[in-house]
Amino acid sequence: MHKDLDWLGLHQLRGRVGRGEYQSYCILKYEGKSETVRKRMKVMCDTNDGFVISEKDLELRGSGDFFGTMQHGIPEFKIANLFEDMPILKKVQVVAQEIMSKDEDLKLPENKLLQRVVNQKLESLGTGTL
């Protein structure tokens, strides 16, 4: 499998210039008429803000794409794909915050089941059971 930078990576690459006192330029040469490519080119031309680019990148990304630049750093998931599963991730984060704010040690009877699996997970992160 071959990977290259995604748009965020390209943005970071562009950051190689603009480090001195001179006005800097980035010229994107492209071919083809793909709508997505044109949209992405526009985003790159319109902004130098990495956060804006990463948000747009996420929007424009179809399922099955990967977050190239981050790939090495992403914790390994057996089944989840952070991009395809973004809607689930958002729900999960709400649930997780709710649980932790009420029951940090997962001691309530209704969270007993979670306590066991979360501890297993912590072990696998290499930090030992808490």
Partner 1 sequence: MIDLKKDVKYVKGVGPNRAELLNKLGIFTLQDLITYYPRAYEDRSKPKTLFECIDGEEALIEVVATSKITETRFGRKTMQKLMIGDETANAEAVWFNQTYLKSKFSIGQKYRMFGKIDKKYRKIQIMSPVFDEYGITQNTGRIVPLYPLTYNLSQNVIRKIIENAMQEVYGNLSETLPEYILKKYSLLSINEATKNIHFPKELQDFQKARTRLVFEELLITQLALLKLKYYDKEKIKGISFSTKHKIAEMIEKFPFTLTNAQARVLQEIEKDMESPKMMNRLLQGDVGSGKTAIAMCAAYKAVKSGYQAVIMAPTAILATQHLENFEKILSGLGIKCELLISGITKKKKEDILQRLQDGEIDILIGTHAVLEDNVEFKNLGLVVTDEQHRFGVRQRNKITKKGQNPDVLVMSATPIPRTLALILYGDLDISIIDELPPNRKKIETFAVTKRMQERVDNFIRKQIEEGRQAYIVCPLVEEGEDSDLKSVIELSEKYQKEIFPEYRIQYLHGKMRPKEKDEIMLKFKNHEIDILVSTTVIEVGVDVPNSNIMVIEDAQRFGLARITSIKR
130 binds partner 1 (CB under 8 A): yes
Among 35, 102, 107, 127, binds partner 1 (CB under 8 A): 127
Helix (H, G, I), strand (E, B) or coil at 43: helix
Write the burial class of residue 129 (CB in 10 Å: 0-12 exposed, 13-18 middle, 19+ buried): exposed
Among 35, 44, 102, 107, binds partner 1 (CB under 8 A): 44
89-108 binders of partner 1 (CB under 8 A): 89-93, 95-97, 99-100, 104, 106
23-42 binders of partner 1 (CB under 8 A): 23-32, 34, 37-38, 40-42
CB 49 to partner 1: min, Å:
7
54-93 binders of partner 1 (CB under 8 A): 54-55, 57-58, 62, 64-75, 77-82, 85-86, 88-93
* Closest to 12 measured CA to CA, from 66, 48, 60: 48
Listed in sequence order, the residues at least 6 apart from 3 whose beta carbon sits closer than 8 Å to its beta carbon are: 66, 68, 71
Write the burial class of residue 99 (CB in 10 Å: 0-12 exposed, 13-18 middle, 19+ buried): middle
1 binds partner 1 (CB under 8 A): yes
